[in-house]
Each structure stands twice: as C-alpha cells, then as structure tokens.
Amino acid sequence: MRKLLTSAAAIGLLAAPALAQVSDDKVKIGILNDQSGVYANFGGRYSYEAALMAVEDFGGTVLGAPVEVTTADHQNKADIASNIARQWYDTEQVDSIMELTTSSVALAVQALSKEANKITITTGAATTELTGAQCSPYGFHWAYDTHALAVGTGGALVEQGGDSWYFLTADYAFGYSLEENTGNFVKANGGEVVGAVRHPLASTDFSSFLLQAQASGAKVIGLANAGADTQNAIKQAAEFGIVQGGQRLAALLFTLSEVNGLGAEAAQGLTLTESFYWNRTDASREFGKRFFERTQAMPNMIHAATYSAVTSYLKAIEAAGTDETEAVAAKLKELPVQDLFAENGVVAPNGRMIKDVYLMEVKAPDQITEPWDYYNVLSTIPGDVAYIKPAESGCPLVTQ
C-alpha cells in the first residue's frame, strides 16, 4: 500500500510541472445561451457544436491540461443565467463563459463574472453597453454589435434614399440599443425617425404593429428585433402588402439561420449585415462544410465567432502560460485575432474585438446555385468604421 502511495505521489510530482499553471488541472468553457426559445437557431446548440470544433482543432489540450466544454439553456432570462453562471463558477470549475445570446443576459453574466474574476466572451448578444459604460476588464465582445449593424444596414439604406424611418422594436435592452444606434446614424446622415412601436419579446402576431408602421408613411421600417420575431414580422409584412406599398423593410439583425428558416422566396432582396459568411473565402467554406456535416446547417456569424472566441481564449492561455484570469485577459487584448472568422482582428482595450463586417443581400431564389448559398456580399465595411472607437465608447477602462 505504502509503495502504491509513493508511486502515486511520484507520478503526481512528475505531472505537476505541466499542470501547475492550470487551475483544477483542466480548462473548462461554458457555452450559455438560448436553446429552446426565439433565439435557439440564432446561436443555440450550434454554438456549442462550434465550441467543440474549436477545442478539437486546437488538439483538445492546452498547457498539457484537457479542455472541456459544457453548455446550458438560459431561456433568455437573466436570473436563470446568473444562477447557472454562479453554479458553474462555484462548484463545476468553469473557467470562462461564452456565447451569451440576449443582451440582458449578457450584461448580467458579464457583471457577475467581473465580480467572480472570470472571463466572458460574448458572441450572441448585440448591445454596445457590453464594451461601453458597463464594460469589464474580463469581458470581451466578439461577432457584432448594434453599432456595426446600424452602420451596415442603416448606412446602406439611407444611401439609397431611405431617409425616414419607423422602428418596430423588441421591448428590452437589445431592442432599445439597436433602435437608438440606428436612429442616431440615420439622423446623423440627414434622415429622420418618425416613430417607433415596442413589441414584447417572442410575439407571434405583428399585424397590429405593422399596420401602425404602415400608417406612419415612413420610407423604411426598421426591425429592431431578432430571431423568430424578425422572421414573423417579415412574413406578415408581405401579407399586409407593405413592400408592395413602397415601404422598405430593414432587418437590422438577421442571420443566415433566419434566412434559411424564412425561405429565399420571402427573404429575397433583404439587405442585412453579418460579420461572417461561409461562402466567402476558402477557409470559411472549409469550416462551413465541416460544420454542416455535424449539424446539417451552415454556420452564421454567431457560430463562427464562437469558434473564433474559443480558439483565441485557448491561444491566450497558451501564450500566458497559465489560465489565471488577469494574465489571460491581458494576452487576449495583446494577440491579434487571425482565423477563419477574422483575418485582421484586434481586441480593443474595452474588450471589443474589431474586424471587418459585410453588407449582404439575399439572392433571388433562381440565383441560388447550391443549398445555403443565400448571400451576395455587397460591400466590406472596415472594422474601424463599423465599431465605436474605444475612446468614444464610454468605457472607463479606456484611458483617453
């Protein structure tokens, strides 16, 4: 028995140098998002799958310690998400939480993680607050935000003469942020905002709201919502003859997953902004095909950004030589982001990952040559135009 203990201790000592820098002898990443509600296809289980792919591509270990990914459904509720996050940190040795679809949830979990001294990388939520007034030294924001969407889709439509806007806004943090950002951008470019109506999250019937938007006479109806809400609004707008009546619809946050759910027939001609399209470069095509084999769906920007976030986090741990939060956060801000999602990404001091975003147009059904080939890339918007300059973000971490 004594011999056994001695050898166990010896093995422990031998193994120790490799693992010494990694807490609990493993790195554990939690993917927390909506897996059953309106945003389940927007991020959902697909983001978990993307995180698994990133870990596998990284080799499954970092600094000799195994990397694990766990996941949970926060049901778009900040209180449920906070409970899960606490449980993960306190009893399940989770080192960082990522994805965090839904802005209210992301803000709550980022604040909680700041207290708990843990890293969050948000890919699913949109509000600029995450890297603005409510920024955190350990909170990062990948993928996109409401400012990038406003500059992309809003900019394109104002340029084409859409100078009066009416907003259909989801009634929570994300909707307000998107409405405000887009409204400001429209006004700054000489347009006007004639009104807005706020609808509850996960509405099924938009006809009342659409009638109000129709009556406003605005040239553009801005859909400051997401997921199934936007899908339903677009579908029902077609029913009420809104586009035939001469008004344009701007889906401010709409991704490949929703285009596929809506069908090319109903979605054709929509202008939208995403920071990733699978059929754009060789690297993205290769990733798209591998992702498709696992999920039967092509990735949107949330899924690709989650892959990129996990990869960057593991690279930062490797570079820092430890998984200690302070050191990893510093490395995340220092290292450039170069992968299939971002060719030229940099992480600003406020935690915002800045890279190019793309203005897309949904093709007409007869132009689509292969499944999921929905977009024409209209233009590339450079990262420093798309995102708020760190110094102007209102984040106290940025020294002027």
Partner 1 sequence: MITIFGVPTAALFGQLLVGLINGSFYALLSLGLAVIFGLLRVINFAHGAQYMLGAFAAYLLSLWLGLGYWSALILAPVLVGLAGAVVERTMLSRLYKLDHLYGLLFTFGLALTIEGTFRYIYGAAGQPYPTPEALAGGVNLGFMFLPIYRGWVVVASMIVCLAVWLLIEKTKLGSYLRAATENPILVQSFGVNVPLLLTFTYGLGAALAAFAGVLAAPIYQVSPLMGSNIIIIVFAVVVIGGMGSILGAIVTGYLLGIAEGLTKVFYPEASNIVVFVIMAIVLILRPAGLFGKDV
| Secondary structure of the chain as H, E, C letters | CHHHHHHHHHHHHHHHHHHCCCHHHCEEEEEEECCCCCCCCCCHHHHHHHHHHHHHHHCCEECCEEEEEEEEECCCCHHHHHHHHHHHHHHCCCCEEEECCCHHHHHHHHHHHHHHCCEEEECCCCCHHHHCCCCCCCEEECCCCHHHHHHHHHHHHHHCCCCEEEEEEECCHHHHHHHHHHHHHHHHCCCEEEEEEEECCCCCCCHHHHHHHHHHCCCEEEEECCHHHHHHHHHHHHHCCCCCCCCEEEECCCCHHHHHHHCHHHHCCCEEEECCCCCCCHHHHHHHHHHHHHHCCCCCHHHHHHHHHHHHHHHHHHHHCCCCHHHHHHHHHHCCECCCCCCCEEECCCCEEECCEEEEEECCHHHCCCCCCCEEEEEEECHHHHCCCHHHCCCCCCCC
Contacting range for partner 1; rule: CB under 8 A; set: 108-116, 122-130, 204-212, 311-319? 204-212
Tell me if 261 contacts partner 1 by CB under 8 A. Answer: yes
Tell me if 98 contacts partner 1 by CB under 8 A. Answer: no
Tell me if 75 contacts partner 1 by CB under 8 A. Answer: no
Tell me if 36 contacts partner 1 by CB under 8 A. Answer: yes
Q: Decide whether 239 or 392 has the Cβ nearer to partner 1.
A: 239
Tell me if 232 contacts partner 1 by CB under 8 A. Answer: yes
Tell me if 364 contacts partner 1 by CB under 8 A. Answer: no
Q: Report how far apart, in Å, the C-alpha atoms of 318 and of each of 65, 96, 255, 327, 336 are.
A: 11, 15, 32, 11, 14
The torsion of the CA quartet 294, 318, 305, 183, rounded to 10 degrees, works out to 170
Q: Decide whether 103 or 257 has the Cβ nearer to partner 1.
A: 257
Q: Decide whether 172 or 185 has the Cβ nearer to partner 1.
A: 172
- Residue pair 213/168 in contact (Cβ under 8 Å)? The answer is yes
Contacting range for partner 1; rule: CB under 8 A; set: 2-10, 217-225, 261-269, 365-373? 261-269
Minimal distance, residue 257 CB to partner 1, in Å: 6
Tell me if 221 contacts partner 1 by CB under 8 A. Answer: no
**Footprint (CB under 8 A) of partner 1, residues 371-390:** none
- Tell me the C-alpha distance between 173 and 322, whole Å: 35
Q: Among 60, 161, 217, 241, indicate the residue that binds partner 1 (CB under 8 A).
A: 241
- Tell me the C-alpha distance between 89 and 94, whole Å: 5
Minimal distance, residue 62 CB to partner 1, in Å: 32
Tell me if 202 contacts partner 1 by CB under 8 A. Answer: yes
Q: Decide whether 240 or 372 has the Cβ nearer to partner 1.
A: 240
Contacting range for partner 1; rule: CB under 8 A; set: 7-15, 89-97, 184-192, 225-233? 225-233
Minimal distance, residue 204 CB to partner 1, in Å: 5
Q: Decide whether 26 or 235 has the Cβ nearer to partner 1.
A: 235
Q: Among 114, 198, 280, 285, indicate the residue that binds partner 1 (CB under 8 A).
A: 198
Q: Among 163, 171, 324, 361, indicate the residue that binds partner 1 (CB under 8 A).
A: 171
Tell me if 262 contacts partner 1 by CB under 8 A. Answer: yes
Q: Among 103, 127, 231, 273, indicate the residue that binds partner 1 (CB under 8 A).
A: 231
Q: Decide whether 141 or 219 has the Cβ nearer to partner 1.
A: 219
**What are the residues whose beta carbons fall under 8 Å from the beta carbon of 380, sequence distance 6 or more?**
356, 357, 358, 359
Q: Among 49, 258, 323, 339, indicate the residue that binds partner 1 (CB under 8 A).
A: 258
Tell me if 122 contacts partner 1 by CB under 8 A. Answer: no
Residue 55 φ then ψ, to 5°: -65, -45
Minimal distance, residue 196 CB to partner 1, in Å: 10
Minimal distance, residue 211 CB to partner 1, in Å: 5
Tell me if 38 contacts partner 1 by CB under 8 A. Answer: yes
Q: Decide whether 152 or 227 has the Cβ nearer to partner 1.
A: 227
- Contact residues toward partner 1 (CB under 8 A) are 36-38, 40-42, 44, 171, 197-200, 202-205, 207-209, 211-212, 214-215, 227-228, 231-232, 235-236, 239-241, 245, 257-258, 261-263, 265-266
